[in-house]
Structures are given as structure tokens and as C-alpha cells.
Structure 1
Amino acid sequence: MKNAQFSPWCKPFGLFSGLLIVLFGLVIASSLTGAKTISLSESWSSLSLWQSCHSENCDIIRFSRLPRTLAGLVAGCALGLAGALMQSLTRNPLADPGLLGVNSGASFVTVMGLSFWGTFSFWQSFSLAFLGALLAAIIVAITGAGRGGRLNPIRLTLAGVSLAAILEGLTSGVSLLNPDIYDHLRFWQTGSLDVRQLTIFTLLGPVVAIASLCTLVLSRSLNAISMGEDLARTLGTRVGLVQLSGLLLIALLSACATALTGPIAFIGLVAPHLARGVLGSDHRYYLPGTVLITPAVLLLADIIGRSIAPGEIRVSIITALIGAPALIFLVRHRIGRGM
């Protein structure tokens, strides 16, 4: 009986251990990948931040590859959980912060802020990104709600795609009126992990960590909602409170990722499906799995972008090449079965 009692935990523990090993390997590969070859021993010694940096290779590791790797970890965790949370709350397998206009809302409000106030601090940029992501999420939720205020998956997807197209058009129109805004827009339109400031992570790291923990706390409630809102209410779940909390967390996580790397499409759509395929649909396992799988996929895409061309292909382009076929596959199989 004792073995039978612990057997359900054996498989998730083994899978989590394997995912951690894969993620750690990709972190090392990311620190070694670049135009200049730097040995593992020199890379490791350069990461000793308490030692002074006196070589070009040390500068490359500390101020280029290390921030880039951290950006992949932080943005990947934020985008993955935002996508997983959105798919769970809406019970829509095609839900994604980029597909439903949340990233476009963050980009639009940020660009509007640049056009009116010029340059501003990182926290002001983050505040605008959060406001835009929250407003976009609210508009899509209201537009996509069916009778009785319940979220309709098909209407939600159509509302998100429409809002994203409108906001992207307005953003492009504003940028064409000001060359300086257009230079900033190039960053927001093509997301990249090329972050050069470690201080950003001291600001965003705790925010993403707290939002991630809050998302994991909702796992039992999300399990109940996945069985239907009526049954969830019967089981004592406060569906409205969970949906409101989830909406705020989606906006916060999406804003963090967008403020850090710019919009990166499809990663929040594909990675949760990979986690669900590996760990099952129980949110107690699949949400922590998403935290490990999404940064791994994002770092892998970035490594591919840095390796297959003499210069660099931005990570958002690689994720689009991966995510577009995945989206077609999901549409054919999910919508064909009534989603």
C-alpha cells in the first residue's frame, strides 16, 4: 500500500527532473552560443560577478550572453504561464496572449506613450505595457462573452484577432508620423532576447516570480473550472474571483514579457500544449511543467536564430516559424472536434 500511495508522484518527479536537466543544458548552450567562441571554463569564470572583468570575452558573457539567457528564462516563464492561464480560463486551446491581442495592447499603449512624452524610464514603460495589456484583455473578454457573461471560445478568438489587427494598424500609423517612434517600434514589432542591462531583472524578476506563484496557487480552482463553471460553483469555487484574478495575472505576466523582450508570438500557445502532452491536464503538474518547458523552447529558438545565420535571426521569427504550423495543426484537430 505504501508503494501504491507514492506511485502517482513517481512519474511527475521523473519528468520534472528531466525537464530541469534539459533547461539547464540549454542555459549552458545559450551562454556558449555566439559569433565568438568562448570556452566553458572561461564562461564559468566570467559569471563570478564578485570578480572584476578585464577581458573582452568577460564583457561578452556578462553584458550580452548572461542578460540574454536571463531574458529567455524570465520572458519564457511569463509567456508560458500567461498562455496556459488564458487557455484554462477560457477553455480555448487556441488562446494565447499574442493571438488574443494582449501583446498588441501592451505595444500600442507603450508607443502612444512614446509619441506623447518621448523617452521615459523602464518602470514607466512597464506601467504603460501593463495598462495596455490589461485594457486589451478586458476588451477581448467583454467582446468575447456570450449569454450570461460566459466566455465563448470562438467569439473570444475572433475578438482577439480583430483587436490585435486594429491595434497593430494604429501602432504602425502612429509610428509613421514620427521617425523616432518608428525606431522604438522596430523593437516592439520584432521581439528579441538581446537585453543588455542586468538591472532590469532586479525589477522584473520578483514581479514575474510573485505572479507565477499566484498562478500556481490557482491550480486547484482551474481544475474545477475545467470541468465546467456550473460544476465548479457546486464544488465551492468562486469562478468570478478566479477569472478576475486570472485576467490580472495574464495582463501582468504579458506586460512583463513585452516590456522586457517585445512581443514574441506563438510561444505562449505552443509551450502549454507541450507541457500538457508531457504531464497531463492536471494543473498541479502541468502549470509547473509550463514554467520549465517554455523557457527551454524560447532559449532553443534563440540558439537556433544565432546559429543558422552569419548575423542573427530574431527569436520572434524563429518562434513564428515553429508556432504557425503548430497553430494550423491545433485548428484542424481541435476545431474539427468542436474544441
Structure 2
Amino acid sequence: MSGKRIGFASSIGFGGSTVGTLYRSMSDRQAEEALRAAYDAGLRYFDTAPLYGYGLSELRFGRFLRSVPRESFTLSTKVGRYLVPPRGETVDQGIWANALPLKPVFDYSYDGTMRSFEQSASRFGFASFDILYIHDADRFNHGAHYDRIFGQAMDGCYRALDELRSAGDIRAIGVGVNESDVATRFLRAADFDAIMIAGRYTLLQQDALTDLVPEATAKGVELVAVGVFNSGILAASAANAAGSTYNYGSIPPEIAEKARKLREVCDAHTVPLQAAAIQFPLRQPAISAVVIGMGSAKEVAQNNEWAKWPIPPALWADLRSAGLLRADAP
């Protein structure tokens, strides 16, 4: 493995999905205000992807980040998709409330990766990135085609990214996926610097302790935790928890019950459940950063408050005693 540390400029990162209009629309001005609030609050890691708003998030990130010193922040985006004009084809915008009128195309080939990198550079106005993650090469996105996609990502994406890293166009190669065993398979296959794991190391689920965390620790690869609210259930207030989501879908009864018990323990210690959800992954030494999607200056302030909320050690002990955390979770 490369053995070098990435050196994330902050342990809390600003995720670009919300300014890409995930679930709700927002203006350029609102996005600018959220990004400015994050930077002013000391957040210095910014992560996005071509998928988010079909290029809109990258455009908004670039517009703001070009206004601050480049050396002051860590920047990551992703490959595995590029964007094309739909040329009369109807494009499903899915979960994006107001995406750009472009069509995302999955492509894990060498040429597709270079095309994605070049498009992102153009949208940002930057010649290089700190990290490029291979995005969504997992079962969640590709189902029965996952094994074929894995092979394409290793033969195409990884080869292209390794060349970009060697040339100094990127500092680090990563993978961003939704399953810990998939992430572990990538780790064992090549020389990666970082893994972004979604929803698999949270208060609700610590699946990554089985395979990914030990493998990353042994290889000196840094982990970035995203989806720490499991898409919403851990971010919701008690009053609207039932109307929230779990991993972008409906909430299974057993997950709703576990979330309720987690909230009860947090309430007993006068700690917001959201604060515990943000801070818990960072107690794991292998995890260098937590990335959270934020869509307004108010959300930035609230997440920043939760990230700094004083949490007594007794809270973690009580969660473990109640069987709500794995015994091997720090």
C-alpha cells in the first residue's frame, strides 16, 4: 500500500448531495450561503460527485471553493459516471429535485474514468483533486451485475486513477460504496488510500467491524464514514421519526425499535441522538472523517453544534450494556 496519510483538513466534512438538490430544490444563493457557513465554521473537507444534481453540486462547489485558498481545504469527488446531453431522451431525475438537464452514464472503463475526471475538473475549475473515489461499484447499485462491474472498475477506473496519482493530478485513490464486504474486496485487490463507506459504521449498524475496519487498519488505509444518520432515521426528531427514512427507503420495524432505544439512552444523558450519531464513528481510530450533507447555513450550525456536543463516557457504556453497540466498537 502507499502508506501515506491523506491529511484531511477537518474531521467533519461537507457532503455535496444536498446542494445538488437531494429531495428538495435550492437556489445558487442558498447553496453559496451553506458552503460559506461551513467554511467559516471550520469545515475544511468538501466531498461531492458528478451524480449529485447531475453536475449541479460540482458547479456550486467550484464557484465557492475558487474564492478561498486552495491549500486550505481537502477536496474529493468521484468517478464511475459522466454526464451527456440527453438529445431528446427523457431522463429520470430520481431523488434530485432540480437536477441539471443532463443524463448520467455509468462507465467504469479507463476512458470513461478519464472523461469523468476531465468533466469534473471543468465544472470545478481546478486542475487536480485530493481524492477521487470509484463511486457505487457495489450490489446496491448493480445487483446481479456487481461482479462484472467490480472487474471493470479494477481494470478501468483503478488503472486510470493510478496513472493520475502517479502524475500528481490526484493525491489519493478511494472507493465509495454501500457494503463493507465490497469495500474490503477492493482493499484486498489494489493500492487504495481511502474508503468511503455509507451507512455501515453508524449507531444503528457496525457491520464494517467484521471485515473492513480490520483490513483498513492492517493496511493503513483511511476510512471516511458517510450516511451516519442512515439516510434520516437518526437525524429525525422524536416527533417525526416515524416519517423518516432508513437507507433511502421505508423503515423496518426492528430498525425503528432499535432507533427508539438509542434515543431513550441518549435522552437519559441529555444528549441529542444526532450528536451521538455524528461523534460515534470518529471514536473508531480507522475513521479519519465523517461527511454530512447540509443544505443551509442553519443546518451547518446545527450539525456543528452536534459535532461538538459534550458526550459523557457513560452514554457509550450504557449503549453497549443495552446491546445497542457491538462489544468490539470503541
**TM (normalized to structure 1)?**
0.23
**Larger RCO: Structure 1 or Structure 2 (Cα < 8 Å, ≥ 6 residues apart)?**
1
Larger radius of gyration: 1
